[in-house]
Chains A and B, each alone.
Chain A
Amino acid sequence: MKYANPKIPEEINYSKENPLKEFLLLVAGILAVVAVFVIVTQQLTQQFAQHIPFEYEAKIVPTQFIENNFLLSNNSEKKDYLTSLANKLAQHMDLPKAINLQVYYLDSAEINAFASLNGIIIITEGLLKFVQSENELAFVIAHEIGHIKERHPIKSLSSGLVIGATIAIIGGSINNDSAANALITGSSLTALNFSRAQESQADTLALYAIHKHYGHTLGSIDFFTRLKEQSQLPTVLSFTSTHPDHNTRITDAQALAQTLTNNISASLTALPTFK
């Protein structure tokens, strides 16, 4: 009997296939599943979230929280002006009775405005300096009121919590940090993409309210265009950061503004002069 050690045949125990192929296939497949999951969950939780009573929001973000955690300006003149402007706009927006708007003026050079739970709207000093007419400012405020009317803060919070928790559980059970991280990144990208729809919704509501209040929509979109020209894209929360697709948003809003405005001789309302 002859005994031999023949040369080991290659590619039986392992594959010489380029691992990139497997990588791309796996990443695409898993991301697709995650995306479907996120979209479905988001839709479902947001359906439920709009039935959460508004009073609950006050428990999540009490007024005190804003007062304690933000550098609020004590310029009551500007705060009162912003509040009255917001209330005037809100009259045209059919806010549910339970919703109580609270406008805060923030001591920050950053050009930003955002809406939060409990009807809270925060306007920065930087924004007030940046806008050139009341119409521009009104559009930004109306946009934030639009978010509040549609319960976007509570919807985002709810779906964010549900998706975050689920992904964390799945991610945690994967015994591999980088794969878990990829899962989380994939889901947050999908979620981000989805919130653009909310921005457009807020834009539309805002333009209708502006039209009712001033009788025209002149100046509303100027904020966008000038912001883009200066490429001042703030990094914080709502008004600009979640809008990667700035251009389509401007075009959409412009189109709507044009159909609403037929009074070409209308003029812009100036901002009041503050002491």
Chain B
Amino acid sequence: MEFIIFLTLLALGYGFGRVIEKRHFRYIFKREDELKNILLIPTKKLPETLQSDRYENQFVEGSVVISVDYFKRFLGGLRSIVGGRIRSYETLIERARREAIIRMKDQAASYGGTVIFNCKFETASISKGRRNSIGSVEVYAYGTAIVVKKTHEVQA
């Protein structure tokens, strides 16, 4: 009986996990294309060409939490016995990272920013260490967006 429950969970995890992952990747490709005009610059210092009184800086961030499914988790567990690339987690983290960037860029776009510099990432895993619980990962991306000053507003 326990084995049937386990197989069902595995099948559900695989089925839903695949559908959700495919859909998410499609969404990521589309959004990345839409936001491709916002440049990400990982350097700490602002490029000289952008150092001008015309611009002001703005903190932008994007965060996403994605849960691992039962199938991925099980596959990861098997991998942990023999070692090697945990492919099932790679797609998960990839999605989380790119989604976080998309959300950060969205925020920058809402301010009218076109460049984000000093980009950084943080990750956190939720319910870490608790056995038998489905784990999830948070990816947090943040940076400094360069926004064109609205001069008349400054005077007001």
Q: What is A's interface to B at a CB cutoff of 8 Å?
A: 3-5, 7-8, 13-15, 17, 19-20, 22-23, 26-27, 29-30, 174-182, 185
Q: What is B's interface to A at a CB cutoff of 8 Å?
A: 2-3, 6, 14, 32-33, 36, 39-41, 47, 70-82, 85, 87-88, 90-91, 93-94, 98, 131-132
A20 to B17, CA, bound (A): 12
Contact A179 B39, beta carbon cutoff 8 Å: no
Minimum CB–CB distance for B85 against chain A, Å = 8
A180 to B77, CA, bound (A): 8
CB within 8 Å for A3 and B81 given contacts A13-B90, A22-B75, A22-B88: no
Contact A177 B132, beta carbon cutoff 8 Å: yes
Contact B71 A176, beta carbon cutoff 8 Å: no
CB within 8 Å for A178 and B77 given contacts A8-B98, A20-B14: yes
A17 to B77, CA, bound (A): 18
Minimum CB–CB distance for B51 against chain A, Å = 15
A250 to B44, CA, bound (A): 79
Contact B39 A3, beta carbon cutoff 8 Å: yes
Contact A19 B39, beta carbon cutoff 8 Å: no
Please name all residues of chain A whose beta carbon is closer than 8 Å to the beta carbon of B73 when the two chains form the complex.
176, 178
Could you say which of B47, B75, B80, B90 contacts A14, with CB atoms under 8 Å apart? B90
Contact A14 B132, beta carbon cutoff 8 Å: no
Contact A178 B6, beta carbon cutoff 8 Å: yes
Contact B74 A179, beta carbon cutoff 8 Å: yes
